[in-house]
Amino acid sequence: MAQVFNFSSGPAMLPADVLQLAQQELCDWQGLGTSVMEISHRGKEFIQVAETAEKDFRDLLNIPSNYKVLFCHGGGRGQFAGVPLNLLGDKTTADYVDAGYWAESAVKEAVKYCSPNVIDAKTIVDGKRAVKPMRDWQLSDNAAYLHYCPNETIDGIAINEMPNFGKDVVVAADFSSSILSSPIDISRFGVIYAGAQKNIGPAGLTLVIVREDLLGKAHKMCPSILDYTVLNDNDSMFNTPPTFAWYLSGLVFKWLKEQGGVAAMDRINQQKAELLYGTIDNSDFYRNDVATANRSRMNVPFQLADSALDKLFLEESFAAGLHALKGHRVVGGMRASIYNAMPLAGVQALTDFMKEFERRHG
């Protein structure tokens, strides 16, 4: 069959080289005669996998030594509870910036634990959806932390500014859909978390980067599996971690290093985004509703001027090997998720298809 490019928003495309290696060694890993998913997480073989993955992840993001990396269960949704349960301490409020679906979902979970101060950062610029600049975010005086989501997977909205609110403001950010896609100045953050299933590996694993001085103040009702201190004290093995997802994420980190690391990804992601948004903007047939400065380079929602053609577009694109382009139900239209694993050739194939589709139906 023709090569398939999978634009799923997550679980998402993985690097072809990584999947092929995982396939080769699935039944006999490192000559052990067993699969990596069959061995103990406490044995020296898996400890090696775990430590190497953490080291490579630290290298890729230049994580300072005063930050801990945790490999957790529970997904981004788990961290919607994990963040307040670990960071509130004796405070009763936190600032939550709302710029899209996931930021809002984090608020819905946070109300179980505190009275969030919701900062509505949505705005309109030149008729397009946008996010207010950070200098206009009205932080409260007594917040334990500030939470925001720098890339909204569903809305296709990105906040590209790096936070700079001074050392007393603990910033917690949901990087699920943009981690490893461009450099991050980790030192600006207290906590960064990311579900693996977009830019890291298979679903079921979550990475948390936490500044060590924030440990030790989990709520007394915090489940151990979400308690950063417990996880850190046990090298993320307080309970059996999702070992296969950890292993496969490690292969992705190795692959990223081979590609030139996050800086190289950043360049390719920029090329991919320019190609796709350029195709949309140079046409009256396609439309994207997000202001240029807030356009996500990872998730590109777009509408056909004539939505009656949506079904045909999806059928024909699928037949052409361009999968999972249907937009999220709350936005409609199309969405192309173009994470690190999506090669430039995939975006080229998509834009070629879009132009040809427009030629035939425009």
As a whole number of angstroms, the longest Cα–Cα distance in the chain is 62
Alpha carbon dihedral 199, 201, 202, 208, in 10-degree steps, equals -80
Q: Which is nearer to a second copy, 329 or 360 (CB)?
A: 329
Say if residue 120 carries a ligand binding annotation. no
Q: Measured from the CB of residue 66, what is the shortest distance to a second copy in angstroms?
A: 27
* Residue among 102, 137, 246, 255 flagged as catalytic: 102
Q: Does residue 308 bind a second copy (CB under 8 A)?
A: no
Q: Nearest 5°: phi and psi at 117?
A: -90, 105
Q: Which is nearer to a second copy, 16 or 312 (CB)?
A: 16
Query: What single DSSP character describes residue 140?
Result: -
Query: Is 174 annotated as catalytic?
Result: yes
Query: Is 198 annotated as catalytic?
Result: yes
- Are the CB atoms for 37 and 173 separated by under 8 Å? no
Spatial neighbors of 51 by CB under 8 A, at least 6 apart, are none
3-class secondary structure per residue, 287-347 = ECCECHHHECCCEEEEEECCHHHHHHHHHHHHHCCEECCECCCCCCCEEEECCCCCCHHHH
Q: Measured from the CB of residue 88, what is the shortest distance to a second copy in angstroms?
A: 12
Query: Is 272 annotated as catalytic?
Result: no
Which of 57, 67, 96, 113 binds a second copy (CB under 8 A)? It is 113
Q: Does residue 226 bind a second copy (CB under 8 A)?
A: yes
**Distance (Å, whole) CA 275 – CA 310:** 21
Q: Does residue 220 bind a second copy (CB under 8 A)?
A: yes
Q: Does residue 353 bind a second copy (CB under 8 A)?
A: no
Relative to beta strand 206-211, strand 67-72 is: antiparallel
Q: Does residue 156 bind a second copy (CB under 8 A)?
A: no
Name the residues that contact a second copy, by CB under 8 A.
Answer: 1-4, 6, 8-14, 16, 19-20, 22-23, 26-27, 31-35, 37-41, 43, 73-78, 80-82, 85, 109, 112-113, 195, 197, 202-205, 220-226, 238-245, 321, 323-324
